[in-house]
Structure 1
Amino acid sequence: MKTTSLLGMLVLIVFLAACGQEKKVETSYLEVKAYQGDRQEVLKVINKRVQYFNNRDEEQYPAVFTSSSSQNNIDAYKGDDTQITVLKNPKFLNESKDQIAVTVREEYKDSPYGSVGDTVYYLFKQDDGSWLINGLD
């Protein structure tokens, strides 16, 4: 009887531990190797933004945005379980030497707004040559 009780408690503990673990979502990021120069750098920034978003990384998330961006605060997503699972089909809409707009098809898990959407990223080139997101639409 004691063995059965111990085994039952062990199973219950393992079950509860498994339930308490957050499940990491696999994300399919944009393939950057197919691009060169500024286009490649812009796609790397977009991939980082999604990585930081999915991890709800309060320290790194603002680092991919310009200081003047109003969308650089991950706190807006607290309590939201949305995860971006797929990034694909980047289309460069507008390009100049210091600004790029690119639309990306995104697929979501646990989003209250649907499972697929297109996000437009507006990026500005910084004085040091790096690219940062100024806005999302």
Structure 2
Amino acid sequence: MDIVDPARRSRMMAGIRSKDTRPEMTVRSAAHALGYRFRIHRADLPGRPDLVFPGRRMVIFVHGCYWHRHEGCPYATTPKSNTEFWLEKFEKNVARDRKAMSELVELGWDPLVIWECETRDAKVLKERIASHLGPTRG
């Protein structure tokens, strides 16, 4: 049983942003500090990647552990109420992510997923970004 009424739950869920989230802003800040320049949320690419590095043909997705089901992560919990609905929703999210990744690869792009929980350690985050993108140009 949910601890809040359906109307309040609906308002709460509607308030969850899909762009410019704190983890995404952390990744953008780290990439910029490392000297990388990028575009954001290119709608013409599958999955609408969070960061796009056109000259490198690389993209970064910043996935929330809960919504995108980071395997083995303590933040990827499943609600105790309306479980069937949530499991189906999460399954669709993961399938959509998988499809976007394979389409990007087919188009010649190199995708990277950074999980929300991985944004907590700035040093590790910067190393992960630099490892994927290679040396900065300039």
TM-score, L = length of structure 2: 0.26
Pick the structure with greater CA Rg: 1
Greater share of helix: 2
TM-score, L = length of structure 1: 0.26
